[in-house]
Structure 1
């Protein structure tokens, strides 16, 4: 299907800017529905003059949402939060907003709809984040059965809030922690001697996925007939334990930071305090998410069905993690005398 106009909700975010740029490169006009169009003005140079139009939209305002989707060939919803703050609750952002956008999109005749969800979305999950993500998927499908749902694992790229956060921590802290359930226990070595296993299996597993690949997946869902109405699990080519993630960060940052195990009960205590920060480092709900591996199940189609070969984290991290290295941009190379 040839796209002429696409509305992207949350298009000024990390994933959004990639999708907006990808659409613009195909000559599509993009209407970017955001809370603050002035802050989203940086998107305009990603396309030709007038091709990308940020638009002020309050997702709680039905009239504003209806104007945003009017005349669109496709709609992409990227709205999501990692923690609750005031009126921005998981219910409001993950369930009510998608339902409203999908309902008004259907009324406007839109049949191409991409809902950005998350790997691990499950209405029976102990974590409210994962439960509401699944409820949001169901709400969208009630109004637009042909909607495509993307469930990515942790998304990485130049502006991510994952590897960049841990990279920044290497500047300030001598250690990087990883949380384990099966560590700090007595075991026996190969010779039968008693020993203490601190790290266990290395903590929860992740399957980081490159943001450019997620944007390509969204494009495929908007343009290919055979992908309509399906849910896709998006994971990178390799799964890492939390310990391996931290070791990768230290390697890329070229720091002497130590990677150390921490029991899960410590994470719960930390979260009970840190949840009250303006921008929490970790919350009790996120601890519940960490108790389950964030990797593809294999029960749903993934990148292979989309015709996309996922990009390895090791191929991309050196392009932006160098900023955390000691003396970055201040190293003077001299030719040997």
Structure 2
């Protein structure tokens, strides 16, 4: 670990899945890290990732410009990781993902921040009807308009011990005898290890990436939804029926899930939303243009970690007998 310097990086949303990996990476590089979150008390566990006083949590809310300005003051670089997969009250897609990047970018520009790194998402299409995709694209535009030359990262679905992807599917397989292959299970993904994404983010914060460039981050393998389900079942030693589900039926099912959330006053979190069904109509893979331009993990000289090398190390807990399970159920 490098000695602690006086170089400061502010990470918005630093207490989440990606954030905790990034904070560790920055701390190892010797940066002081300011973790800007709505609930600093929930980020206290990050303090042990560095030396005493190296990592500090501060309160910041995207709806309050003064809190954003205070969070970026004195920072050399700012990283925005704030995002939501489900809309809840005031934390809707537009408020968080369309408005937020511009608010942070403006504050960073005024404060004289040298680098602004914004995390978007892979697989965005200008003509998409998905509210999530639209808000992500608006967020990229807002970041550019506010800061001028932000570094934008578009990762595919990320995996790691606390992910909401492989863990989610393994949990579903533990409870249900049937797994639905929405759209026939042909949608393609390029899952990327969260540690690799954190490495690129850290490079962006320290000034090793090209200002104004958009990087697309995907793993080594391109997998269909069907292949992902098959991998999860094999890894957790379970046999389940994979049933193709047309997009229309999946949309009806998602509507019922959303109705249940409304009736429960938000206590029920839908496992599938109509917006997610819409997203599944498009592949989530690195484009040929990004690959040719070297704006990928390989282009940065990073050998992506494979799904098979990482995911079994944490999915074993979904087996009937955990780590002691050897036979197919």
Q: Which TM-score applies when normalising by structure 1?
A: 0.89
Q: Is the 8 A contact 2:188 2:284 kept in 1?
A: yes
Q: Per the alignment, in what secondary structure is the counterpart of residue 227 of structure 1?
A: coil
Query: After superposition, what is the alpha-carbon deviation per residue over 1:214-246, rounded to whole angstroms, capped at 9, x for unaligned?
Result: 001111222245521100111111111110010
Counterpart for residue 61 of structure 1: 64
Q: What is the CA distance between 1:69 and its match in structure 2?
A: 0.1
State how many pairs are aligned: 311
Tell me how far apart the structure 1 counterparts of residues 186 and 157 of structure 2 sit (CA, whole Å): 15
Determine if the alignment matches structure 1 residue 131 to structure 2 residue 121.
no
Which of 313, 316, 321 is equivalent to 1:322? Answer: 316
Using a 3 Å threshold, how does the CA distance of structure 1 residues 329 and 240 change in structure 2: closer, same or farther?
closer
Unaligned runs of 5+ in 1: 181-198, 333-337
User: Is the counterpart of residue 155 in structure 1 residue 158 in structure 2?
Assistant: yes
Shift in CA distance, 329/246, structure 1 to aligned 2, threshold 3 Å: closer
Indicate whether 1:146 and 2:149 are aligned. yes
Q: Structure 1 residues 130, 25: closer, same or farther in 2, change over 3 A?
A: same
Contact 2:115 2:207 in 1 (8 A): no
* Aligned equivalents of 2:244, 2:146: Cα separation in 1: 46
Q: CA deviation at 1:123?
A: 3.6
- Equivalent residue, structure 1, for 2:269: 279
2:47 touches 2:56 (CA, 8 Å); kept in 1? yes
User: Larger C-alpha radius of gyration, 1 or 2?
Assistant: 1
Q: CA shift at 1:26, angstroms? A: 1.0
Confirm or deny: 8 A CA contact 2:154 2:215 kept in the other structure.
yes
1:258 to 221, 227, 241: 241
Task: Give the Cα separation in 2 of the matches to 1:266 and 1:104.
Answer: 45
Q: Write the mapping of 1:159-238 to structure 2, written as runs, cut at 5 A.
A: 159-180=162-183, 202-238=185-221
Q: Residue 28 in 1 paired to residue 26 in 2?
A: no
Matched, 1:312 2:306: yes
Higher percent of residues as helix: 2
Give, in angstroms, the shift of residue 275 of structure 1. Answer: 2.1
Q: CA RMSD in A?
A: 1.6
Taking the aligned partners of 1:120 and 1:275, their CA distance within structure 2 comes to: 24
TM-score, with structure 2 as normaliser: 0.91
Secondary structure of the 2:132 match is helix
